[in-house]
Structure 1
Amino acid sequence: MTRVRATVLPGHGVASGRSGDPRFPGGTIALQKPFFLERGLDLSPFYPGTLNLSLAPCRYRVLRPKHTFRGVKWAATEPPEDFSFFDCRVVWRGQSYAGLVYYPHPETKPEHFQPPDVLEVLAPRLEGLGYADVVELELDPAQIAVDC
């Protein structure tokens, strides 16, 4: 595994539903979960929102996702999207938590884009973790590369 330091940043709030966007009651992750489950990926172990982790000054490159789902029509108001997921672990306060990098493909994503150094991560709820906290992120180098 490749290990990189990452800083927790505020996101758009749509994944968790905190933005209050009426198109996505309960958040996009909650709405998408059943579509991923019927394709074989169970997101129930994870908090229904993303950790936005900046790897700056590093950037990442997608290599070989663990899962890719194409043309997922998860909301009536949104066009179908492509999604990939990558194995990861979040290390915080001496504990390691299994997670997934959540990667909506930019070419099919209609809005809410991330900078090139930010990964969105699905993980269990990590009580006390907040913006500007630093974690270590472990990534499978066969799935996703980190360039510093």
Structure 2
Amino acid sequence: MRFARHLGVASAAALTLTALLATPVKAAEPKGIGLELNKVATVNGGCLLTFVASNATGAALAAAGFEFVLFSKDGVVDRMTVFDFGALPEGKTVVRQFQIAGAPCEGFGSILVNGPSGCGAAAAAPLCSAPLTASSRTAVSFGR
């Protein structure tokens, strides 16, 4: 009888342990700023770039600008520019568009995010220190 009771306790402990191990662990939400190149379209002889930006820094950003490097299809730097994404509220996703005049999208092979712009002594700390992820839904490669 005593053996059966211990066996029952051991079985209950094993079932509890199995349930705990089988419980899915929720992945941590990504922290930082996410930029996605969502669409490229040649419009009026220039390239219209559409980005989806998300802010998971833990703080609203009153201003967010990033330096971009646009490369031709053969890997040569075509131009460097800063895109001003404006305010990025915490926990919110926003869409921003930028027009590159006189440069059809077909000429671009990749876009690189050099990083946040204006990260001097008086810059917004959450923008300048936040991890940045870049992704693309287009044929144009987009990274950091």
TM-score range, shorter chain: 0.3 to 0.5
* Higher RCO by CA contacts (8 Å cutoff, separation 6 or greater): 1
TM-score w.r.t. length of structure 1: 0.32
TM-score w.r.t. length of structure 2: 0.32
Indicate the structure with greater helix content: 2
Indicate the structure with greater strand content: 2
Q: Larger radius of gyration, structure 1 or 2? A: 2
